[in-house]
Structure 1
Amino acid sequence: MNRTIIDYQEDRLEEKLQKILGNVDVAGGTCPIRHILARFSDKWSTLSIFHLGDAGTLRFNELKKRIDGISQRMLTVTLRTLERDGLVSRQVYAEIPPRVEYQLTDLGRSLLVQIINMGEWASNNSNQIIEARTRFDTREGKAGNSVLLD
């Protein structure tokens, strides 16, 4: 039987999935990387990483202005969490008033590359997703609810 490039790509995908999911605790159903994936997949972390990646270094209020809708408390929690995970560095300058700047670490920049790939995928497929939502909502009797950001 002749194998195609697609067959080999599917094999590699299976191998990668097994590597990720292979350590799942079957009894408890938990994956050891679940908490790490959850950390950067929430919208505030993703947006913070995007904006820090774009600007390089930002002060707290500069970052807050760039992220529409985020509260001061949520940005504080998000930045602390990203700093704890080694994705963001925080530099405090002994000035009056104190100046604090945030930037991505090397690890954070490597994650940014992956998030950009996901963003490109979302951008390239947004029309298909909107169409699928419209079909689903119509079928379920929820016409008019097909907003991309649901």
Structure 2
Amino acid sequence: MEELLHNPEAFSRAKEELEQVIGKGNLVQESNISKLPYLQAIVKETLQLHPVIPFLVPRKAQVDVEISGYIIPKGAQVLVNAWAIGRDPRSWNNAKSFMSEGFLGLKSSRVFLAAEIIILHWMSSSGAIDLSTSPNPKEYSIL
């Protein structure tokens, strides 16, 4: 809500969308969500800037691996900083600005899994990093 209060244009646009799709005074039903793309974009942008938890669930390295020049020894606990990923200017245009329009037209699975991609693809069978198969192959500092 705070982000919308600081962005009156986004607030007005969201309000317009709700009034057009839902109508004044009506409650939003789950079935309406797919018809509210701008509101969905606001939620995604909010979660990018303000993740529910700053660090994802800790992981344990299965083998020795090198990530961005750092050696991660087998058995080491690895924390993925979701807060930093959401504010990384190498991955997001105007990373620290609230611009929900950037999420319009994107598939939600790619958006919500952006922080998880490192966990899902962070190790190949040889123990090296392989982000080339991810939809957004960017380097992240995870330590």
With the shorter chain as reference, the TM-score category is under 0.3
Q: Which structure has the larger Rg?
A: 1
**Highest RCO, 1 vs 2 (Cα 8 Å, sep ≥ 6):** 2
Alignment TM-score, normalising by the size of structure 2: 0.26
Higher helix proportion (structure 1 or 2):
1
Q: TM-score, normalised by structure 1?
A: 0.25
